[in-house]
């Protein structure tokens, strides 16, 4: 989220310091890239020169012939909705469970599209959509046990859903009312992490603790293909391997890190990285919910057995923009997206359910209604979300307190109170 602005763009409360607010507004629009400047134009030219010099730039990537040969993916469900076998991985799910996975994906997508709409309506400052990544998230999320612990990025709305986190909790930071705002321990779902890759180390440390406790739960860390370039991710691989930590690294390779393609992050298929650190890596069809479930479950079980980490690369695609501030038309072709649309994770499970007679029209209609109810609930909850109290910025800075925070809190309270006194005087 380079062009990130998490402050909701709702009308600001009338402020005592009008000039200060105007300044803030200007800063925000500059951040969003609205204001054009000579420096920007120069940067653009430089970028154009660069891309001319390098034929393999992002723009041409759609037709790029020299892409790495794609290694085999674990797949259990083809894009056409046919069930296929894999020698090492399988799932045996009841009709009810299959319908459950479908329901999870549909509701998650609906929640996500509602959030995007809320951003467009100015109710959220920013939104990072998971569109296209539902199978990777629901498949891996449903492989988890309650006592497993999840370390997400900022896009794991589907995993949050599987953990039973109320989806409205996820919106606080995007609306600008908090920087996280939920208790990570109530659903074993850690706060979203913005600094790319940081959470993979937290997951590893947490997993080291799990091992020390002699517990048999596992930890899963989500991150993207871009994150795989970060030192923290390499360090997490090292630590987890050296200490045999029960952690699964779940990389959603959605092909893009904002405008940078995966080829800009790595010269080898990502899942192969694991081998150099001394643990297995596996690439799974990230648009196949059954395969994601099977592979993640197997990796989690391996961790629980004390056999250490696994890297799962879910090969998938981010169908929308990186965030609502992003414009993917500047760096990728629409035909790429169309090619991936044919592999839509939801559509393929629907085809399978229909072909097998696992779900009828009534099921789909009921689900549509349920989606509408969810969307309405989310919409209402966001609009009703109270702004934090001014004084709350001084809360929880320290667990044990801090003299300076106490002093500044008192000063600020007195300053605020002086306005109340002034408004009383007029009456």
Partner 1 sequence: MTAEKMSLAKALNESLRKSLETDPKVLVMGEDVGKLGGVFRITDGLQKDFGEDRVIDTPLAESGIVGTAIGLALRGYRPVVEIQFDGFVFPAYDQIVTQLAKMHARALGKVKMPVVVRIPYGGGIGAVEHHSESPEALFAHVAGLKVVSPSNASDGYWMLQQAIQSDDPVIFFEPKRRYWDKAEVDTEAIPDPLHAARVARTGTDLTLAAYGPMVKVCLEAAAAAQEEGKSVEVIDLRSMSPIDFDAVQRSVEKTGRLVVVHEAPVFYGSGAEIAARITERCFYHLEAPVLRVGGFHAPYPPARVEEEYLPGLDRVLDAVDRSLAY
Ligand X SMILES: Cc1ncc(C[n+]2csc(CCOP(=O)(O)OP(=O)(O)O)c2C)c(N)n1
What residue ranges bind partner 1 (CB under 8 A)? 178-186, 190-191, 193, 195, 198, 200-210, 212-213, 231-232, 235-236, 238-239, 242, 395-400, 402-405
Going by the DSSP 8-state scheme, the letter that residue 221 receives in this structure is E
- Judged by beta carbon distances under 5 to 8 A according to partner kind, the member of ligand X, partner 1, none in contact with residue 52 is none
* 169 vs 371, beta carbon nearer partner 1: 169
Residue 232 touching ligand X (CB under 6 A): no
Alpha helices per DSSP H over 36-80:
38-53
CB of 157 to partner 1, least distance (A): 18
Q: Which residues are catalytic?
A: 318, 322, 331
Q: Report the residue number, 8 or 191, with the smaller CB distance to partner 1.
A: 191
Judged by CB under 6 A, does residue 227 bind ligand X? Answer: yes
**CB closer to partner 1 out of 357 and 386:** 386
Q: Find out whether 315 and 340 touch, Cβ atoms under 8 Å.
A: no
Q: Which does 238 bind (CB under 5 to 8 A by kind): ligand X, partner 1, none?
A: partner 1
Phi and psi at residue 311, to the nearest 5°: -105, 125
* Residue with tokens 């991150």, as numbered in its chain: 223
208 binds, among partner 1, ligand X, none (CB under 5 to 8 A by kind): partner 1
Of 150-209, which residues contact ligand X (CB under 6 A)? 155, 194-196
Nearest distance from C-beta of residue 299 to partner 1, angstroms: 18
Rounded (to 5) percent helix, strand, coil in the chain: 50, 10, 40
| Smallest distance from partner 1 to CB 300, Å | 17
Q: Minimal distance in Å, beta carbon 318 to ligand X? A: 6
Count, residues in the chain: 427
Beta bridge partners of 83: 77
The CA-CA-CA angle for residues 366, 371, 376, to 5°, reads: 130
d(C-alpha 161, C-alpha 8), whole Å: 23
User: Residue 195 or residue 422: which is nearer to partner 1 going by CB?
Assistant: 195
203 binds, among partner 1, ligand X, none (CB under 5 to 8 A by kind): partner 1
Alpha-carbon distances of 383 from 122, 135, 237, 379, rounded to whole Å: 10, 29, 41, 6
Residue 322: which of partner 1, ligand X, none does it interact with, CB under 5 to 8 A by kind? ligand X
**Which is nearer to ligand X, 195 or 397 (by Cβ)?**
195
Asked if 327 is part of the footprint of ligand X (rule: CB under 6 A), the reply reads no
Is residue 224 involved in binding ligand X (CB under 6 A)? yes
Q: Which stretch in 26-34, 251-259, 291-299, 327-335 sits in contact with ligand X by CB under 6 A?
A: 251-259
**Separation in Å, CA 24 to CA 12, 355, 372, 393:** 11, 56, 37, 18
d(CA 291, CA 253) in angstroms, rounded, equals 15
Give dist(CA 20, CA 16) in Å, integer. 9
């Amino acid at each position: 989220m380079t062009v990130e602005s998490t402050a909701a763009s709702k009308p600001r409360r009338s402020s005592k310091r009008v000039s200060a607010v105007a300044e803030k507004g200007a800063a925000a629009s500059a951040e969003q890239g609205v204001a054009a400047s000579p420096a920007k134009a120069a940067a653009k030219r430089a970028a154009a020169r660069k891309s001319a010099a390098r034929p393999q730039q992002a723009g041409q990537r759609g037709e790029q012939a020299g892409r790495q040969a794609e290694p085999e993916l674990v797949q259990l469900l083809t894009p056409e909705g046919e069930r296929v076998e894999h020698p090492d991985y399988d799932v045996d799910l009841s009709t009810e469970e299959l319908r459950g996975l479908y329901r999870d994906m549909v509701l998650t997508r609906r929640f996500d599209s509602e959030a995007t709409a809320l951003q467009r309506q100015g109710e959220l400052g920013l939104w990072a959509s998971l569109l296209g990544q539902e199978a990777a998230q629901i498949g891996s999320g449903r492989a988890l046990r309650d006592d497993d612990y999840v370390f997400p990025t900022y896009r794991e709305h589907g995993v949050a859903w599987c953990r039973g986190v109320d989806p409205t909790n996820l919106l606080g930071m995007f609306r600008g009312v908090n920087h996280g705002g939920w208790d990570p321990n109530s659903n074993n779902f850690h706060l979203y992490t913005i600094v790319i890759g940081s959470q993979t180390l937290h997951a590893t440390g947490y997993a080291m603790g799990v091992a020390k406790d002699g517990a048999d739960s596992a930890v899963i860390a989500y991150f993207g293909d871009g994150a795989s370039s970060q030192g923290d991710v390499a360090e997490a691989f090292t630590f987890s391997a050296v200490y045999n930590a029960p952690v699964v690294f779940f990389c959603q390779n959605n092909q893009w890190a904002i405008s940078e393609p995966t080829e800009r992050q790595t010269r080898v298929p990502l899942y192969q990285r694991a081998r150099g650190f001394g643990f297995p890596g596996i690439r799974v069809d990230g648009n196949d919910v059954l395969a994601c479930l099977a592979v993640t479950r197997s990796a989690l079980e391996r961790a629980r057995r004390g056999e250490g980490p696994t890297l799962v690369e879910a090969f998938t695609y981010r169908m929308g923009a990186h965030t609502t501030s992003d414009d993917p038309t500047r760096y990728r072709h629409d035909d790429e997206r169309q090619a991936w649309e044919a592999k839509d994770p939801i559509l393929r499970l629907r085809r399978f359910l229909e072909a097998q007679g696992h779900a009828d029209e009534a099921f789909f209609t009921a689900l549509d209604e349920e989606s509408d109810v969810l969307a309405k609930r989310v919409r209402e909850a966001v609009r009703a979300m109270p702004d934090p109290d001014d004084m709350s910025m001084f809360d929880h800075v320290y667990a044990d307190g801090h003299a300076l925070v106490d002093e500044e809190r008192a000063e600020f309270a007195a300053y605020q109170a002086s306005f109340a006194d002034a408004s009383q005087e007029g009456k």
